[in-house]
Structure 1
Amino acid sequence: MWEDLKIATDAERQTWEWEPLQRVGPLPFGVNHEHVERALQNTARVHNHYAAFERQGVDVYYDDGGALRAVALNAVRGPQAFMNGTALTGRLPSELRLWLTRTADAGERLFMGTHDDPAFHDLGLVMRSQMCGDYVRSLPLFVAAEWAERLGHLASQVPEREWNTCR
């Protein structure tokens, strides 16, 4: 039986600014793990280029040199990130359909990634999905410029945990 999850409301979430390809909230791409821990005021063990900050609902991914290259915001409790006034975290897919279309119509390159997730190369964004009880909610995965052109091939760099929809 599915666990009955309480999805955080926007009012209950931290609000993070997102600068495509540069930073998500207090996390600039390219910093090391110690910087991430200080910014989130929490600790997490790095395993296989990945660390989970469960309390904040934030997962981070590092390259071979230990530089931050991707940040995923958990659909249930992760911070809220916005683009052009649209909330991206914890949304039903139907709530993002119009935003995806408008963003693509505005000239951003939209494609479907390896796991059929909509993604924008030029923004460094993959709109993942996460099972939340009986519903699927949006889980944005933001990537640095160094990984943006390889969005369709991130499965080889980002641990399998990220590509599983049930967490």
Structure 2
Amino acid sequence: MGVEVHWWNKKPGERAQWALDPLVGVGPLRFGMNSDEVASAMDGAIAHVSQGLGSGKGWGSYTDWGVTGIYGADSGLVAVAIDAMDGPLVRLRDIELIARVPSEVCADIQDLAHREGTPVRVNWSGDPEVEAWGVSMGATQELGLSSEGYLQRQDTMITHALLVGSELAEDPYGSEPVAYWWDVSDEQLNPGTWPVRAEEDRPRWDWTPLQSIGPLRFGMNPQQVSSALDEQPAARLGRYSFGRPWENPGEWILSHDRFDKAGVTAHYACGPGGPPTLGAVTVDGLTGPQVEFEGIRLIGMSVQAVDASLMQRLEESGMGITFACGGDLGSPGLNMYVRANRAGDTVVSGARFCRAEWEDHG
């Protein structure tokens, strides 16, 4: 899911104030509306990004409002996603749900649910979900503008929400209409805790740009990667290749292996008819090994601080600066990108290290 940034022209008081009517609607929107009715209810809003809109199951992102409408098989509205940075400020009873510290919203939801005798569970991202209200909370990294006026990642998380009608309330993210918009089936389930390994407990890995990271050399096959780490993958994800219309889906192609003990994910490239080979390694900011670049510690640190130090070093060296699809800071000459890993209400830095031919897509 791409990041849309339309908030910089909005003053704090300009965000719409919406009330949630659980399982019925939110603000001027009611579940069951078609896309034309949704657009009309938001003063003629335009879905600048959409898929399958008006043709059955689909979704439309009304970026000027910070709202995404998700539609079911009959093109009726079944879910509304509220963006953390520029979406309406949604209130449930006496709780403000959007753009707040996640743990504070969680505590408020637990308190209200206790008073109303309503169960609260933890969703895939480790955030509260309440079936009786059709609410599934989430959080995203906060963005800001630097003193020079450019986009800057913060070290804080703020809340967003998926709000659904009664037909999806039992499993909001497990429903097909929602999965067309955001498929979380391959995401690592979070129990609601984000333990961060202490700096002194992290092994140190050397990095040779475009060639190797720690014991891993780009070009290794999956067996060699597992052997080098002395660990079997905790999760293995891939896809089926697409054949001609009259053929079967084709062979299963390995995409990446996740190694939880080492705190890294191995990403593989696979050409037509060729075996998978190591093309990139993502070091997790919470649990991965420490890696340095010219004295800058890249892993488990403040994302703002790493971004600032790395940008200064890259500008001084003339190596060039680039940003990956998700906003990760990197350098085309290094093919390395600083990533942000959630640690509860905050984020810590991770990184993805790639071989020269690897095109990073977030």
Interval containing the TM-score (normalised by the shorter chain)? 0.7 to 0.9
In the alignment, residue 46 of structure 1 is paired with which amino acid?
R
Aligned to 1:120: 331
CA distance in 1, matches of 2:346, 2:269: 32
Deviates more, 1:70-79 or 1:43-52: 43-52
Q: Report what 2:283 is aligned to.
A: 73
- Report the Cα offset of residue 104 of structure 1: 2.6
Aligned residue number for residue 237 of structure 2: 47
How far apart are the structure 1 equivalents of 2:232 and 2:277?
16
**1:93 lines up with 2:310 in the alignment:** no
Report the TM-score when normalising by structure 2.
Answer: 0.40
Greater gyration radius: 2
Higher relative contact order (CA 8 A, sep 6+): 1
Give distance in 1, aligned partners of 2:281 and 2:309. 24
For residues 198 and 224 of structure 2, the distance between their equivalents in structure 1, rounded to whole angstroms, comes to 28
Alpha-carbon distance in 1 for matches of 2:221, 2:356: 16
Q: Can you give the 5+ residue segments of structure 1 that lack an aligned partner in the other structure?
A: 156-162
Q: Establish whether residue 110 from structure 1 lines up as the match of residue 321 from structure 2.
A: yes
SS of residue in 1 equivalent to 2:304: helix
- What SS does structure 2 have at the residue aligned with 1:145? coil
Question: Once the two structures are superposed, what CA deviation does each residue of 1:14-63 show, in whole Å capped at 9, x if it has no partner?
Answer: 10000000000000000101111111001115321110001111101000
What TM-score does the superposition give when structure 1 sets the normalisation length? 0.84
What residue ranges of structure 2 are gaps of 5+ in the alignment? 1-105, 107-126, 128-191, 239-254
- Once the two structures are overlaid, the 10-residue window that deviates more, 6-15 or 99-108, is 99-108
Name the amino acid aligned to 1:19: T
Q: 2:315 & 2:257 partners in 1: Cα distance?
A: 31
Q: Residue 296 of structure 2 contacts residue 309 of structure 2 at CA under 8 Å; is this kept in 1?
A: no
For the Cα contact (< 8 Å) 2:329–2:338, is it kept in 1?
yes
Distance, in Å, in 2 between the alignment partners of 1:63 and 1:89 is 24
Say whether 1:28 aligns with 2:238.
Answer: no
Counterpart CA distance in 1 for 2:351 and 2:339 is 6
- Paired residue secondary structure (2:333): helix
Indicate the RMSD between aligned Cα atoms, in angstroms: 1.5
Deviates more, 1:92-101 or 1:9-18: 92-101
SS at match of 1:62: strand
Distance 1:141 1:31 in 2: 17
Q: Count how many residue pairs are aligned between Structure 1 and Structure 2.
A: 151
Give the residue type in structure 1 aligned to 2:291.
A
The answer to whether the Cα contact below 8 Å between 2:256 and 2:265 also exists between their aligned partners in 1 is: yes
Partner residue of 2:268?
62
Shift of 1:100: 2.3
Secondary structure at the aligned position of 2:227 is classed as helix
8 Å CA contact retained: 2:269, 2:279 = yes
Give the C-alpha shift of residue 82 in structure 1. 0.6
Q: Secondary structure at the match of 1:98?
A: helix
Q: Which moved more, 1:126-135 or 1:15-24?
A: 126-135
The separation in 1 between residues aligned to 2:315 and 2:196, in whole angstroms, is 28
